Amino acid sequence: MKKLKTILLLLLALQLTGCIVFKSVSYEVTVNSDGTGTALVIIEDINTDATTKETIDNDVKSILEHGLKSQAFIDDMKSEGKIIKSRNVIVEKEKLSAIVGYEFSDISKVEGMQFDDPYYYLTIPTTDSIISTNGQVTKTAEYQRIVWDKSITTLKFKMYSDDTSKEGLKSLAPYYLKEN
């Protein structure tokens, strides 16, 4: 009986929390000669797997109130070495996307990118999917690496996150439009 109660509580907890799911994330990183720069991040087709109105509302609020409007988000990003310069949410073709622009003083603040003269590079797990890049991709059994020559001043890459057409996912676009 105790196990049954535990399972029921776990199922209830899972229904009361939603998870934000998005299709892809792209980066456009502009690097200055001194190693500082800017990054433009676009998170495309934002959805939720929440099953109740309350949890969907919580997911929308987390994007709108925390990510889009709060000082806490700016402070969180600043503690990671990212100085937020812009943040916006847009709806195109009934899909919600978030756009964040920030400045950095060290390339390693952008997803752990590195500079080893004369190359910039990003090392990611083999399980991650690279959709596109203006760099060169190298794959090994242990990792994937995108490499850019330092003559390239705008480093671009786009990563796949999840299948947003899966059953049970709901686009957050209509909920965002309803709030605004």
User: Which pLDDT belongs to residue 14?
Assistant: 35
Average pLDDT over the chain reads: 88
94 is written with which tokens? Answer: 């009934």
Task: Please give the Cα distance from 86 to 77 (Å, whole number).
Answer: 12
Q: pLDDT-derived band of residue 23, with 50, 70 and 90 as boundaries?
A: very high
Whole-prediction pTM: 0.86
- Outline where DSSP puts E strands in 37-153: 37-48, 83-92, 95-104, 114-116, 119-124, 129-133, 136-139, 144-149
1 is written with which tokens? Answer: 């009986």
146 is written with which tokens? Answer: 């995108």
